[in-house]
Structure formats: structure tokens, C-alpha cells
Amino acid sequence: MHELDKESAVRLLGRYQGRSGEIEIVECSWDGTRIYFEEGVRQSQATPDGESVFTYVKLMDELLHRSASILVLGCGGGNLATRLARLGKQLTIVDNNPISFVIAQKFFGLPDDLHCMVSDFRKFIFQDDVLYDGIAIDIGGPGFRFNEEFDVETCDAIRARLAPGGRIVMNVTVMNDIDPLPDRIAARLAGESMRVWIVDEQGIEDRNAIIACLPERQLNPRATLSEAMQHNQERWSIRRGRLRSRDLAFGSRNG
């Protein structure tokens, strides 16, 4: 989800054919980090032991700190799952690209004893009957269409997999400051029972934003969340979601 011009000072570690296109793993000589490219797009960048350089991964981790059992939808380089596993979380990881699990274990430190499921995330959600304290969603890639993949029916099914007090944290790609996508998907995920916050970095095009659907009436950021928001001198901020699920229903009747 991040574009990067490949520099000459990188070393190719592996090339694979995934379900969405060619995957390349390269290592940067200047800092030792490794990059997961899919069809030329940087999907992950982390140290060899899986510590991500992306702020959004750190933010998702912090927003899931209350969850003990977590369903992770999407693997890629496995950076979020690796971080959560090291914190002692019980994880189930779902990805439709089996090579992603191999790559995450070989190049990014993903523990090999985690519960990894090869499946389309929607198929898994509709068939699964386990309840989780938290659901982390980090799915994307070339040609991925968030608005279509996360329709109302799918979002309802995701929310139905939450145990009482559970939460959903999702990474989405935002085109610009007026892009309605994060608020629309957040309203679908939250339904009428959860509160929505958007953690975003205003003013940047084609950026990551984090949707947080929580049961609490107030978001009381921990100091570590505030610290993560200032990672690499970035300027992330938290706002309330602008839509509720009833707004979407009203719009569909009058659209």
C-alpha cells in the first residue's frame, strides 16, 4: 500500500508467484530492513525479526491491547501478527495466499506455531463460529476494492465473530481528506452497538488510516498510543466517525 522507488542498494532475497501477482522480498543495505513488494507495491517493511517500520502497525497493536484472542484477517509480511504474538496474544491468522505465511516465517520472524488458515477472509468469516476478543483487518493489494469487499453483509458477519466487549481494528487506504471510505466501512463494521474512531494523518494522499470500532463510550488513549502517533515525527490524529449504520440505510433508500 506504499509506493517506493527501488534503490540500487537493495539485495533480492526471494521472488515468488502469489495469487495477486509477483512477490519480491528485498533487503535494504542502509538499515537492514526487508521489504515485501507485491506487483511493485510495498506492502510491508520490517526488520528481519518482524518489527515494522510503518506507524499504522504500531497503532493497530495499541488499539488491540485489551484483546487476548485475536482474529487477524490478512498476513502479507506478518508484521502485525508477529508483534501481537510477542505480546502473548492468542492468534488465528487468515490469508488466501498460502505463500504469504511461508514468506512471513522465512523473512520476517513470524512464529511457526501460530494458527494459520488459508482461506478467503469472507468465506472464513461466514463459516467460522469462534468468538474473538479482537479482530484485526489488514487486507489489500493490487486491485483490491475495499468498498465492495467490505459490504454490509460481510461487515455484519465480522462483527458477529466478536465476544462481548470485543473490538475491531482495521487498516484502510485513503485517497485524500474528503474520501468517505473509512467512515462508510467503519459504520458498517460498528453497526448500532459499537463506537467508531478514525486514526488518520490528514493532508497526505493515498495514505493509511485506522478504523477502531470499540465498545467503550470514550477512547482514552494510553501514553503508548500517543507515542506511536508521533512515530517518525508523523502527525496522526484521532477523530470520531462521521456516520452511523442508520445513516447508510437512509442513504440507500434515498440514493
C-alpha–C-alpha distance, residues 75 and 244, integer Å = 29
Beta strands in the chain (DSSP E): 10-18, 21-28, 34-38, 41-46, 69-73, 90-95, 115-118, 132-137, 162-174, 195-200, 207-214, 237-240
Domain boundaries, the chain: 54-254
List CB contacts of 108: < 8 A, sequence separation 6 or more.
34, 36, 44, 46, 48, 49, 50, 77, 78, 79, 82
Question: Which residues of the chain are modeled with pLDDT < 50?
Answer: 1-7, 250-255
> Do the beta carbons of residue 182 and residue 209 sit within 8 Å?
yes
Label the pairing between strands 90-95 and 41-46.
Answer: unpaired
pTM, two decimal places: 0.91
> Do the beta carbons of residue 159 and residue 219 sit within 8 Å?
no
Q: Is the dihedral of CA 205, 19, 73, 42 positive or negative?
A: negative
Label the pairing between strands 21-28 and 34-38.
Answer: antiparallel
Q: What is the pLDDT of residue 20?
A: 82
Q: What is the pLDDT of residue 247?
A: 67
- What SS3 class is residue 150? coil
Q: How far is CA 40 from the centre of its chain?
A: 19
Label the pairing between strands 162-174 and 34-38.
Answer: unpaired
Q: What is the pLDDT of residue 250?
A: 46
Q: Which fold has domain 54-254?
A: Rossmann fold (3.40.50)
Q: How many helices (H) and strands (E) does the chain have?
A: 9, 12
